[in-house]
Amino acid sequence: MSDGTPNSTATPSGATADLNATPKEAAKFLRTTPEVLAQMRYLNRGPEYTRNGRRILYSWAALRAYLDANTVRPSNSQSGAA
Q: What pLDDT is recorded for position 80?
A: 59
Percent of the chain with pLDDT over 90: 67
Residue type, 53: G
For the whole model, what pTM was predicted?
Answer: 0.69
Helices (H), the chain: 23-30, 34-42, 60-69
Helices vs strands, H then E, count in the chain: 3, 2
Domain-located, residue 59: yes
Q: What pLDDT is recorded for position 76?
A: 80
Summary mean pLDDT of the chain:
84
Domain-located, residue 20: yes
Domain-located, residue 72: no
Total count of domains within the chain = 1
Q: pLDDT tens, 17-28?
A: 568 999 999 999
DSSP-derived letter for residue 22 is P
Q: pLDDT tens, 36-50?
A: 999 999 999 999 999
Rounded to whole angstroms, how far apart are CA atoms 67 and 30? Answer: 8
Rounded to whole angstroms, how far apart are CA atoms 49 and 67? Answer: 14
Domain-located, residue 79: no
